[in-house]
Structure 1
Amino acid sequence: MDQRIVQSQINNVATIKGSEKTVNLPENSVDKILMVDVYHEFSFPVEMIASIKKALKADGKIYLIEYRAEDSSVPIKEVHKMSEKQAVKEMKAAGFKLESNSTNLPWQHCMVFVRQ
């Protein structure tokens, strides 16, 4: 990625290596975080969401895309699905509330979380 950034002479992109527990982003530096089919894979979801919360600006939002566990017709293994109820419970514990859950994707939730 770094090579492509240099080759393409892109000046507004920086790569930052995170870890299992932190995104390693500066505090209050991000407007939006997009996580597509990844949250359910976190080994340390509590620590990661705390790190994301710290990196988000006060009015920042988390966009959480996850396969719908409520829908048995979604052709994905159950271990890779997440229900809205589960996501809301975990995000609430981290200090976020569900702002919306769009139905525009055929198999996935598109949940938007904001600070409580």
Structure 2
Amino acid sequence: MGREIAHVMGPAGATWLERPEREAEERPQLVIDALEIKAGQTIADLGAGSGYYSFRIAPLVGQKGRVLAIDVEPRMLRIISERARRGGVDNVTTVLGTPSDPNLEPNSVDLLFMVDVYHELEFPLETMTKVRAALKPGGRVALIEYRAEDPKVMIKPVHKMTERQIIRELTAAGFRHQKTVRSLPLQHLVIFGK
């Protein structure tokens, strides 16, 4: 749909994902607040990487909720599993996805979000078709992507997306744009309904 697909970040990128300055640069709590997560929900973190967001969300869903940390890279999932074991976190479950399927049960997820991941999906339409099937009625998808419209966002162009492109691609995959949250310093947060 008129853009280059970026390469997937491998396990070597785990240290970059967990860098201390990420808190000040990206303000992840603003993302989490905007997602409006409730206790008992099932939240899918697609492209979970090292679990940076998964472990921040786990306390919000509580013991009756679940966080599904999905990645195509088994070594990233091992990092998450080990971290959960060490921290006694039992509501984060790892899921090995494929380039075209996140491997989720139909009608099982309240919210699926991707932080700087969608632009790396090798098969975005196929993946998002599976995501749509996995959402419960009323389920939502949130894409967080670096703003391509903003020249001050110092990220390689292939790793950024415009809001227009995000909406164009997800609309084509059968989603309905609900809102765009504009409070993040570097990224778009675009929310869609099933």
TM-score normalised by structure 1 residue count: 0.91
Deviation per residue, 1:61-106 (Å, 9 max, x gap):
1110001111122111111110111111110111112111111101
What residue in structure 2 maps to residue 57 of structure 1? 136
CA distance in 2, matches of 1:91, 1:27: 19
CA distance in 1, matches of 2:147, 2:93: 32
> How many residue pairs align between the two structures?
115
Question: Which aligned pairs between 1:30-45 and structure 2 lie closer than 5 A?
Answer: 30-45=109-124
Structure with more helix by fraction: 2
CA distance in 2, matches of 1:78, 1:8: 37
Question: Which aligned pairs between 1:1-116 and structure 2 lie closer than 5 A?
Answer: 1-115=80-194
* 3-state SS of paired residue (2:110): strand
CA distance in 1, matches of 2:84, 2:138: 29
What is the identity percentage for the equivalent residue pairs of Structure 1 and Structure 2? Answer: 45
CA distance in 1, matches of 2:97, 2:153: 31
CA distance in 1, matches of 2:129, 2:96: 17
What residue in structure 1 maps to residue 23 of structure 2? none
CA distance in 2, matches of 1:41, 1:53: 18
Amino acid at match of 1:49: M
Which runs of 5 or more structure 2 residues have no equivalent in the other structure? 1-79
Q: What CA RMSD, in Å, does the superposition of the two structures yield over aligned residues?
A: 1.3
CA distance in 2, matches of 1:72, 1:8: 39
Moved more, 33-42 or 2-11: 2-11
CA distance in 1, matches of 2:168, 2:174: 10
CA distance in 2, matches of 1:43, 1:84: 20
CA distance in 1, matches of 2:81, 2:156: 34
What residue in structure 1 maps to residue 74 of structure 2? none
Structure with more strand by fraction: 1
* 3-state SS of paired residue (2:168): helix
Which runs of 5 or more structure 1 residues have no equivalent in the other structure? none
CA 90–6 in structure 1, closer or farther in 2 if over 3 Å, else same: same
Amino acid at match of 2:173: A
